[in-house]
Amino acid sequence: MNNLYGGMTALLLAVAVATPATADTLDINLAGWQAVGAVDNAGNSRQQVDIGAASTVIGFEFIGLRFTAGADSWLQDLTLSLTVPGVNQSTAPFMDLAPAAAATSGVFGPQSGSWAAPGAGFSFGAPFALANGQLLVTAYSSFLALGGETISLTVNEGTLRVIFQPIPEPSTYALMALGLVGLGLWARRQQASR
């Protein structure tokens, strides 16, 4: 009986430790967003969102995205960026994705895709953690149109889905603690029976 109890406790502990918190998502409507120039250009559309302290951004995807290249821009110039707000963009952790690989003007989409997906355009960056949970989403153009502050690209419709790993729930820690207590009791019984 002790071996059964100990085995079940060890299994419970293994499941508690091995099971990561499930990924969560946040959807942002991009309809009407505009890109003017480089990532720090004041004319770019951007939104700051809170995904929870100590969360880790692990990726993003666009759903039903359709946008139009304007001025002298090409479709591949639109870049969607996730980063830490209030930090120098050249040193902040980030994820960037240019949804189109087409070096043409006109309308792109509707199309869906994931960050770092093959053939989805170019992507840079890597997953990163947010100490205070604040995330900055920006649409920018990798090309500054002739004439300076001209709108380079306009998003007609689409959703940006941010995929993140939230900090584990207190119940996860409670389950891990329960497993550790059970394993300790089992070890103590094993030692006492010898």
DSSP readout, the chain?
Answer: -HHHHHHHHHHHHHHHHH-PPPPEEEEEE-TT-EE-SSTT-TTS-EEEEE--TTEEEEEEEEEEEEEEE-TT--GGGEEEEEE-TTS-TTTS-EEEE--------EEEEEEEEETT-TTSS-EEE--EEESS-EEEEEEEESS--TTSS---EEEEEEEEEEEEEPPPPHHHHHHHHHHHHHHHHHHHHHHHT-
Rounded CA separation 25/61 (Å): 10
Rounded CA separation 160/101 (Å): 18
User: Looking at the predicted structure, is the pLDDT value of residue 178 above 90?
Assistant: no
The per-residue pLDDT for range 33-43, each reduced to its tens digit, is 999 988 888 89
User: Looking at the predicted structure, is the pLDDT value of residue 74 above 70?
Assistant: yes
**Mean pLDDT: which of 17-21, 26-30, 69-73, 101-105 is highest?**
26-30
Percent of the chain with pLDDT over 70: 71
- For residues 41-57, average pLDDT: 94
pLDDT score of 143: 81
User: Looking at the predicted structure, is the pLDDT value of residue 186 above 90?
Assistant: no
- Whether 74 contacts 145, CB under 8 Å: no
18 falls in which pLDDT band (50, 70, 90)?
A: very low
pLDDT score of 115: 81
The per-residue pLDDT for range 141-156, each reduced to its tens digit, is 988 766 567 889 999 9
